[in-house]
Structure 1
Amino acid sequence: MIHSQQASAAYRAATMTVPPLHAVVMLYDGVLVRVRNAAAAAERGDWDRQSDEISRAVDLLRGLLAALDFERGGDVAMRLRQTYQANIRALLRSTREAQAVAMCAKIEDGLRQLRNAWAEIAGMPESQPNRMVDPA
C-alpha cells in the first residue's frame, strides 16, 4: 500500500515538471524496466529480487490506475483499468513461477505496445524491445 501511495505521488510530482502525457510514458518506462528486471531475476533463481521488482512494477501500474479519469476518459479509461488490473494479476501470478521469464516477456510486450501508443500521442520516441536489465 505504501508503494502505491508513492507511485501516485510520483505521478503527481512528475505531472508538475513534465507534460502529463510524458509522465504517463515515463511511468510505463518504469514498469517495463521492473518487469524486465523481474524476468532476469527469475532466470537467475533470485526469487526475492523477482518479488521486489514485481512489487515495484505493480505499484507503478497502480499509480497509472489511480490517475485514470473515468469521467473524461469514458470507455478508454475503463479498458485501461481492465488492462492494468489484468497485468497486475499476471505479474503477481508470475512470482516464483517456473514460467516467470516467459510470463514477464509477454507482459512486457503488451505493456510496450501501450507505452508506444501513449508515446505517439505525446510525440515521444517509440521504445524497442530491450532485454537489458537495470542493475538497481
Structure 2
Amino acid sequence: MYGNTQNDYHHYQDADLAIQTAAATPHQLVLMLFNGLMDELVRARSHIEAKRFEKKAQSINKCIDILNALTSALDYDRGGDLALQLAGIYDYSVYRLYDASDKLSVEMIDEVAQILGNIREGWEGMGKLNG
C-alpha cells in the first residue's frame, strides 16, 4: 500500500528542488549551488574520517561538479576582473579537492570550505543589498 518511505522522501526532495530551481533568480541559483557545495564538503570530510573511501570519492566528485557549474556560470564580460578572480579560486579549490581526495586530508577540505564559505557570505551579502 505504501511505498518505500525513504524513496518517497527523496522523490519529494527532488520535486521540491525542481520547483525552487524553476522559480529562482540567477543570484538564488548561485546561492543554492553554494549551499549544496558546503553541505557536500561536510559529507566528504566525514567520509574521510570514517574511512568510507567510495563515498568520499562520490562526495569529492559532486563538489568538483558544483565548482565547475559555478565556473561556467561566471559572466566574464560583465564580471571583468572579479569573474577572473572567482574562476581562479574555483580552479584552485578543484585542485585542492583532488589533493584532499588523494591524500585523505580533512585539512585540505577544511581549507576549501573556509575559502568558499567566505565567497558564499559575499553572495549572501549581495542578495541583502539587492533584496
The TM-score, its normalising length taken from structure 2, stands at: 0.79
Tell me, which stretches of 5 or more residues in structure 1 are unaligned?
1-9, 125-136
The percent identity for this pair of structures is 24
Aligned to 1:102: 107
Corresponding position: 1:23 with 2:29: yes
AA of the residue aligned to 2:106: V
The residue that corresponds to 1:123 in the other structure is 128
Structure ID, larger Rg: 2
* Aligned counterpart in structure 1 of residue 54 of structure 2, from 48, 55, 61: 48
For residues 17-56 of structure 1, give each alpha carbon's deviation from its aligned partner in whole angstroms, at most 9, with x where no partner exists. Answer: 2111111111011111111100000001111111100000
Q: CA RMSD in A?
A: 1.8
Alignment of 1:1-136 (within 5 A): 14=21, 16-98=22-104, 100-123=105-128
Q: Which has the higher contact order (CA 8 A, sep 6+)?
A: 1
Aligned residue pairs: how many? 111
Name the CA distance, whole Å, in 1 between partners of 2:49 and 2:102.
10
Instruction: Report the structure, 1 or 2, having the larger helix content.
Output: 2
For residue 113 of structure 1, report the CA deviation from its aligned partner. Answer: 0.6
Contact 1:68 / 1:77 at 8 angstroms: preserved in 2?
yes
Counterpart CA distance in 2 for 1:119 and 1:20 is 13
